[in-house]
Amino acid sequence: MTHRHKLILLPPNRVWRTYPGGRTLDELARVPEPRDSHLAEDWIASTTRAVNRGREDLNEGVSQVRVGSDPQPRDFAQLLASDPEYFLGAEHFRKYGAQPRLLVKFLDSGTRLHFQVHPTREFAQRVLGEPTGKTEAYYVLAVRKVSAAAETSGYIYAGFQRPPSPAELRDYIATQNIAAIESCFDRITVKTGDTFIIPGGTPHALGAGVFMVEIQEPSDLVVRFEFERAGYVLPEPARFMGRDLDFALTIFNFAPLTAAEIAARIRCPPRRLRSLGTASWQDELIGPAQTDCFQVRRTTLGGPVFKDENSAVIAIVTSGAVTAEAGGETHHLRTYDKVFLPAALGPVKFLPAAGHAEILECLPPE
């Protein structure tokens, strides 16, 4: 089979969103005049369709990929289905079928995103009849100014520090009292290399000018309880997943999330997993202590390393440049290039081009 023992290369897969952003993604694509637009995200190794009102006729979100040095694009979902045990592993295929059970994105915010909340997996299965909710994690790549007057530090909101009652929140949402909603949160400053997890049910918003990798359960389920951002007004069916406000309120976790709990439950400091030789090691960023929905690791390369995770891996070069050798082919990967490593690919040799590099590794649930 021509796809075996090959890296799967992942070209850009821009997806329309309700908020503006993506200038950094334009710059990576060498667009002559990079700018923020509604193509604010790049969905990486995705088999998930984006849910965008008015764009239902587009197969938006599912990745087109390249197998090794073959320039012909392939539909990623169809490619996985052609040999799922090779790509995903026999045990994964038995449990989850021919899809990776996670969604990874580049997200580049040109404005603060809508205040929003996602269902937990339990809620999605019990109430919505969906297999997954949308627990998500953030790995911050960079922070930028979106205008001359903008702040230089990035931030997120996560959980209510001063929870309203359900009745109060209902009133805030119905009247779109955004100042009152915002007063329920404290800003959490973010910087390059930070990792956060946002469990389902946690109200949140991402600040402007944050370029990050988002790792999440593979759904587009969301309640947006702020209806307008940067001049775009959400159509009513896109606010509460086609349901009403009272239904939307049942998704929220109203428990207060204190500063100490943010440090313990939302921030995810690295934990050393193993040494990979001289000046090379692998850290766990998201593991069983945070969620059973996906795994995130980071490998620091100070020299040549042979990697074989025995699992499907979405690998993103987050610092430096890397040469990757597999299947008799050599690929030169720049910063923010990304590849999919099939579960049965076998060892891959990674060599940092200038003595140091970092690779973010996103893995499906065990």
Are 142 and 211 contacting, i.e. CB atoms less than 8 angstroms apart?
yes
pLDDT value of position 1: 57
pLDDT value of position 265: 95
Distance of CA 134 to the CA centre of its chain: 11
Q: What angle do CA 224, 225, 231 make, to 5 degrees?
A: 75
In the chain, the domains with their CATH numbers are: 11-62+100-264 (2.60.120.10)
Cβ neighbors of 79 (< 8 A, separation 6 or more) are: 3, 8, 65, 67, 87
Are 252 and 117 contacting, i.e. CB atoms less than 8 angstroms apart?
yes
pLDDT value of position 115: 98
Q: Which residues of 274-284 are buried (b: 16+ CB within 10 A; e: fewer)?
A: eebeeebbbbb
Q: How many residues does the chain have?
A: 366
Kindly give the confidence (pLDDT) of every residue in the chain, 366 residues in length, as a single tens digit, with 9 standing for 90 and above. Answer: 588 889 999 999 999 999 999 999 999 999 999 999 999 999 999 999 887 776 766 778 999 999 999 999 999 999 999 999 999 999 999 999 999 999 999 999 999 999 999 999 999 999 999 999 999 999 999 999 887 776 667 999 999 999 999 999 999 999 999 999 999 999 999 999 999 999 999 999 999 999 999 999 999 899 999 999 999 999 999 999 999 999 999 999 999 999 999 999 999 999 999 999 889 999 999 999 999 999 999 999 999 999 998 899 999 999 999 999 998 999 999 999 999 999 999 999 999 998 899 999 999 998
pTM score, whole prediction:
0.96
320 sits in the region (left: phi over 0; alpha: psi -120 to 50; else beta) called: left
